[in-house]
């Protein structure tokens, strides 16, 4: 054997030993078994803030910042009836109407009272449902 082949054979044997060790080590590895969650807990009621909601409202989502809170929900009530519902609700509570814009299938209303503004966007969906987004901001 020459002087060059001995280091090559030793390097090859060392690599085979290293590969064997890592194979055995990783083949015996078993990760921790996480606890299975059998029940998903969510929001039990849509009535979590001081905004009035129709009876059949199903909350889709909420978004909150330091100065605002937005809630979006779906209802089977026609969008014109939802507009009347909110117009009556906020005028009874002495909120001042700031603006109202009506298009083919969307109504946007804004009310103001004591440094707060409520903007309501009501959109008719094609599946006989209505999507409502209510954003309450502080000035």
pLDDT, tens only, 48-90: 667 888 888 888 888 889 999 999 999 999 999 999 999 999 9
Mean pLDDT of 8-16: 90
Q: Report yes or no on 125 lying in a domain.
A: yes
Percent of the chain exceeding pLDDT 70 equals 89
Enter the tokens of residue 68: 């605002």
pLDDT at site 127: 82
Phi-psi region of 32 (alpha: psi -120 to 50; beta: other; left: phi over 0): beta
* Full DSSP string of 89-118: HHHHTTPEEEEEEE-SSEEEEEEEETTEEE
Residue 127 DSSP symbol: T
Tell me what the mean pLDDT of segment 89-111 comes to: 93
Give how far the C-alpha of residue 122 lies from the chain's centroid of Cα atoms, to the nearest Å.
19
- For residue 29, being part of any structural domain is answered with no
Q: Other CB atoms closer than 10 Å to residue 111's CB: what's the count?
A: 23
Inside any domain, residue 41: no
The answer to the question of residue 76 being in a domain is yes
Residue 81 falls within a domain, yes or no?
A: yes
In a domain, 52, yes or no: no
Domain contains 96: yes
- Give the pLDDT of residue 50: 73
The domain total for the chain is 1
Closest CA to 131 of 64, 57, 49, 81: 57
Q: Supply the range of the domain harboring residue 111.
A: 58-138
* CATH number (domain holding residue 92): 3.30.310.80
Residue 108 located in a structural domain: yes
Mean pLDDT across the chain = 86
pLDDT for 87:
94
* Residue 31 pLDDT: 77
Q: Return the pLDDT at 1.
A: 61
């Amino acid at each position: 054997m020459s002087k060059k082949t001995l280091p090559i054979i030793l390097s090859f044997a060392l690599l085979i030993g290293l590969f064997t060790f890592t194979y055995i080590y990783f083949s015996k590895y078993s990760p921790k078994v996480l606890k299975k969650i059998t029940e998903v807990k969510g929001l039990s009621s849509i009535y979590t803030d001081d905004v009035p909601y129709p009876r059949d409202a199903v909350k889709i989502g909420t978004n909150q910042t330091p100065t605002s809170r937005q809630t979006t929900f779906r209802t089977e009530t026609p969008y014109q009836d939802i507009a009347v519902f909110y117009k009556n609700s906020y005028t009874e509570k002495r909120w001042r109407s700031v603006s109202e814009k009506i298009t083919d299938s969307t109504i946007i209303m804004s009310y103001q009272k004591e440094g707060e503004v409520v903007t309501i966007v009501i959109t008719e969906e094609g599946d006989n449902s209505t999507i409502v987004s209510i954003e309450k901001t502080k000035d």
